[in-house]
Amino acid sequence: MRRTRSAKIVATLGPATSDEPAIRALFERGVDVFRLNFSHGTQHDHARRLDTIRRLEKEFGRPIGVLLDLQGPKLRLGTFEGGRAQLDAGAHFRLDMDATSGNARRAPLLHPEIFAALQVGTDLLLDDGKLRLRVDSYGADFAETTVLVGGPISDRKGVNVPSAVLPISPLTPKDLDDLACGLAMGVDWVALSFVQRPEDIEEARAIIGKRAWIMAKLEKPAAIDHLDAIVDLCDGVMVARGDLGVELPPERVPELQRLIVRACRKRGKPVVVATQMLESMIAAPVPTRAEVSDVATAVYDGVDAVMLSAESASGKYPLEAVAMMDRIISRVEADASYRIGIDATHEASLSTTADAVCASMRQVAALLAPAATVTYTSSGFTSLRAARERPAVPILSLTPDVATARRMAMVWGVHAVLVDDVHDVAEMIERACRNACTEGFASSGNDVVVVAGLPFGLSGTTNLLHVARIP
């Protein structure tokens, strides 16, 4: 099964798409990577879904990526008398470590790490930013605030501190347990929530090692201050626009989305745009025109993947949402201005042998219009550097490692195929030509551009470019 588009589709599984027929239909409609959202459902639920994905993978003979999305720390208020209260603008309101139910004058906030990060004048956001408080004074276990934006508040609503770096790990005990479960199951990517600084990626890497690739979810303003360092350390990035739009003015989100996408494209790291892409399709069979434009804008910017959340997990029209996203991507990529925009935003290559080879591949592809670029890779490095160049032809990634093949499902333009090891250049060229034909990319008389690293099997050695004509 070959996709004819370059940008990929990530879809979240949930109550509406938990059985084998539903997952099969999603894959057939265009899903490249399935997201297991560990904020919801049990480990058993997710293990069962992953087993289904692996069965479909064998049936279709196509590697399918699986993304484990960790919940991360959840900072919440405690309870209120009667379950709710009304906060009026201008009123004084106290937050403290007393677990007693709150009222219109105070509420429990059992998170000492929040109090440790406060300063006078700090804004606190409640219930996804619907209410706003200003800190007037504080201590190790309390904060006296003034209500700037009031409204109703109820039990266990979330608390955001947009202007502070909280002294807290992105991995809670629940996350560590979920992570151990997911790694044992064999997930391909781990999405790390609540990333604030580069050290958060290093903490996760020390646990995960090489068992999965790490995707940093950028949802905190503090992470933007360390954007380059975070992108350098992780394997991919998710633009988590929901939380980012709570902690920052909404009008800044498009600007930051483009900033993040550019940073990832410059370094050749896969980047996913997520949250509310086709939100109305949770309840409606067609999206709004604004949502279609939102997905199209991300694709025009050259993102590796776009993601569905509740649309595919719990919505009424999960298959229609995937099909719509597939059509939007295909339409954008068929537009002549898409290629012009991709070329215009292409960053200069690094002064390395690998990037010199892949930059040459991009030029050869533009001049000769070969049927495909064929990369040989064990670790995925060669295919990632090739995808960074955004060539005008598909990238057929041949690898002997099934984990690498699955991870490549997230990467722009890459069609991964599992193959046996090769032993010399002649065998490599022959197999590249053969697979380009069997996978539907080329036929007799077509050219293919082969990119690889010698010696074979050694990561990071991309140093060979060869143009072959298929007999």
What pLDDT score does 222 carry?
A: 92
263 pLDDT higher than 80: yes
Instruction: For residue 242, name the pLDDT band (cuts at 50, 70, 90).
Output: confident
* Active-site hit among 132, 157, 217, 220: 217
Whether 455 shows a pLDDT value over 90: the answer reads: no
In angstroms, the CA 388 to CA 267 distance is: 7
Q: What's the confidence (pLDDT) of residue 124?
A: 96
Strands 271-274 and 236-240: parallel
Going by pLDDT thresholds of 50, 70 and 90, the confidence category of residue 212 is very high
Whether 274 and 295 have beta carbons less than 8 Å apart is answered as no
Contacts of 424 (CB under 8 A, 6+ apart): none
- pLDDT, tens only, 312-357: 999 999 999 999 999 999 999 999 999 999 999 999 988 999 999 9
For 270, the 3-state DSSP assignment is coil
- Sorting pLDDT into bands at 50, 70 and 90, what band is 243? confident
Report the alpha-carbon distance of residue 458 to residue 24 in Å, rounded: 36
The domain defined by 353-469 carries CATH number 3.90.1150.200: no
Does residue 438 carry a pLDDT above 80? yes
Q: Is 174 a catalytic residue?
A: no
Total Cβ atoms within 10 A of residue 183: 16
Average pLDDT in the 434-447 region? Answer: 95
Query: What pLDDT is stored for residue 70 in this prediction?
Result: 98
Q: What is the mean pLDDT of residues 159-172?
A: 93
Task: Give me the pLDDT at residue 296, please.
Answer: 98
What are the CA-CA distances from residue 48 to residues 53, 68, 145, 315 (Å)? 9, 14, 47, 20
The Cα–Cα gap between 357 and 463 comes to: 6
> Quick check: do 8-73+170-343 and 81-160 share a fold?
no
Give percent above pLDDT 90 in the chain.
93
CATH 2.40.33.10 fits 81-160, yes or no: yes
CA distance 40 to 47: 13
Q: Where are the alpha helices (DSSP H) in 268-334?
A: 289-300, 310-313, 318-334
* Residue 216, phi then psi, degrees to nearest 5: -80, 125
What's the mean per-residue pLDDT of the chain? 96
Q: What is the DSSP string of 23-71?
A: HHHHHHHT--EEEEETTSS-HHHHHHHHHHHHHHHHHHT---EEEEE--
What average pLDDT does the segment 370-385 reach?
Answer: 96
pLDDT on residue 97: 97
Residue 457 has pLDDT above 80, yes or no: no
For the chain, the structural domain boundaries read 8-73+170-343, 81-160, 353-469
Please, how many CA atoms are within 13 Å of residue 57, restricted to the half-sphere of its CB? 21
Q: Which of 24, 89, 35, 30 is nearest to 58 (CA)?
A: 24
Instruction: Name the β-bridge partners of 126.
Output: 131, 159
Reported as a pLDDT band with limits 50, 70 and 90, residue 61 is very high
Contact 456, 376 (CB under 8 A): yes
Q: Is it true that domain 8-73+170-343 has CATH number 3.20.20.60?
A: yes
> Which one of 24, 48, 76, 174 is the catalytic residue?
76
Both structure tokens of 168:
């807290």
Give the residue with greater pLDDT, 350 vs 363: 363
- If one compares 212 and 462, the residue with the highest pLDDT of the two is 212
What number is the average pLDDT over the span 58-66?
A: 96
Report whether pLDDT(415) > 90: yes
Asked if residue 405 has pLDDT above 90, the reply is yes
Point out the catalytic residue in the list 5, 35, 106, 385.
35
**How many residues appear in the chain?**
471
Residue type, 377: T
172 is catalytic: no
Note the Cα 10 to chain centre separation in Å: 8
Cα angle value 233/413/377 (rounded, 5°): 65
The predicted model scores a pTM of 0.95
Q: How many CA atoms lie within 13 A of 380 on its CB side?
A: 25
Distance, CA of 451 to CA of 469 (rounded, Å): 14
Q: What is the pLDDT of residues 79-96, one digit of tens each?
A: 999 999 999 999 999 999
Q: Is 217 a catalytic residue?
A: yes
Query: Which of the following is catalytic: 12, 17, 52, 275?
Result: 275
Residue 157 is predicted with a pLDDT of 96
Query: Among this protein's residues, is 327 annotated catalytic?
Result: no
pLDDT at 44 over 80: yes
Residue 245's pLDDT band, with cuts at 50, 70 and 90, is: confident
| 264, β-bridge pairs | none
Percent of the chain scored above 70 by pLDDT? Answer: 100
